[in-house]
Amino acid sequence: MRAWRVPFRSFEELRRRWPGIEKAAQQAEPEERKRRRETAKSSDAYKAAQLRNAERRRHRYPLPAEHLPPVGKPVATEEYGIVIFDEVSGELVEAEDLTASPNAACANASYIWGRWRSATLSELIATWPARSAPKADKRSRGWWQPTLPELRVARRNARSMERRKQTRDLSKGC
């Protein structure tokens, strides 16, 4: 019916809450939502998110030059979960790209780009977990050896992806 039923005895409570309801209704108007979206596009947070998304599409990740991850082995990251770095290019990360990255703890350290890919289920199964959770210094560098809970989540997701891929391949074949 798209109508509110208001019991007679709660009319005063409705009157007390009405300004909040009216404000929420005004914020939900399409023009108001569009205006907020347009103003958000000019913010620094929006621009940083755009830069992060662009680097994610390129499969590039800023790595501290002093602490490079092992190439070809699964490591955990804050943003992308458990990934495998296939290549470290040696190309320096520009300052504006670094400010958009959440793992850039030290602005005075030099960072280089590393190319990553998602780990497969067989690679995740073969990975030994860390004995303890990583300390703050290991987390601040942007990568660490994955713990058992992190590996369990990644294995479950990889298993699900493989099942989806098999189902997709079977449906194409029929």
Both tokens of 9, joined, read 């005895």
Query: Is-contact 74 146, C-beta < 8 A?
Result: yes
Q: How far is CA 21 from the centre of its chain?
A: 33
Which tens digit of pLDDT belongs to each residue from 71-81? 999 999 988 99
Task: Give the chain's length.
Answer: 174
Strand bridging mode 111-118 / 143-144? unpaired
- The count of other CB atoms within 10 Å of the CB of residue 22 is 10
Which tens digit of pLDDT belongs to each residue from 141-153? 889 999 999 999 9
160-to-86, 131, 155, 156, 167 alpha-carbon distances in Å: 23, 26, 8, 6, 11
Query: Is-contact 119 74, C-beta < 8 A?
Result: yes
pLDDT band at 28 (very low <50, low <70, confident <90, very high): confident
Dist CA 65 CA 109 (whole Å)? 8
Instruction: Specify the amino acid at residue 123.
Output: E
In the chain, what are the domain boundaries? 9-41, 46-165
Q: What is the pLDDT of residue 1?
A: 64
| 121 vs 51, higher pLDDT | 121
Dist CA 112 CA 94 (whole Å)? 9
Which tens digit of pLDDT belongs to each residue from 105-136? 555 678 999 999 999 999 999 999 999 999 98
